[in-house]
Amino acid sequence: MAIYRHFPGRDALLESVVRQGHDRFLTYLQAAMAAPTPQARLVRSGAQYLRFALEHPRDYGVLFLEAVDASAKAPRWQDAATFRFLVDRVRECADAGVLAVDDPEDVALSIWAHIHGLVSLHLARKLPPDQRAFRRLCAHSLGQLMRAFAGPRLRPIDEKAFDD
């Protein structure tokens, strides 16, 4: 009960936990900016998503797997800085001719749903537990998805980006 000396109630506590989780997650995503090309930054973003989920499964669960009351003050997913980061990477790839997209938000949502599904299946132990094999699966699968949105300059993805 001591925690409630710092928070007026459960919703405020949960809001703080979610905000801190998104901040931590965003630092992982921002590490992708060190990659040299738009395509490499997008691929590295997927790898960092995976890394965050594997290193912080409880935070990942709170952010992406638990139901949140619609009246909570948490930002809508479309407005979250982490989703905006992904939209910016997709837009950057579109501008570079790597992806051919009309709506970067739609494509970002597809990419997020794709990698989220793989990670969630892995965390639920519905996929083989071998970490190295799972990372290769994610890299290969993201490459296939990117080919669906391929622009003229898409190159095969470097699957080593998922080897942390």
pLDDT tens per residue, range 114-123 = 999 999 999 9
| pLDDT of 77 | 61
Tell me whether residue 11 is in a domain: no
Asked whether 11 and 69 are in contact (CB, 8 A), the reply is yes
The domain of 132 spans 74-162
Would you give the DSSP letter of residue 78? T
Tell me whether residue 97 is in a domain: yes
The predicted model scores a pTM of 0.83
Tell me whether residue 33 is in a domain: no
Tell me whether residue 23 is in a domain: no
Q: How many domains, in total, are found in the chain?
A: 1
Phi-psi region of 156 (alpha: psi -120 to 50; beta: other; left: phi over 0): beta
The pLDDT tens digits of the residues spanning 56-90 come to 998 898 888 876 655 555 556 666 889 999 999 99
Tell me whether residue 19 is in a domain: no
Please tell me the distance from the alpha carbon of residue 16 to that of residue 21, in angstroms, as a whole number.
Answer: 8
Q: Is 153 helix (H, G, I), strand (E, B) or coil?
A: coil
Which residue from 111, 54, 113 is spatially nearest to 88, judged by alpha carbons?
111
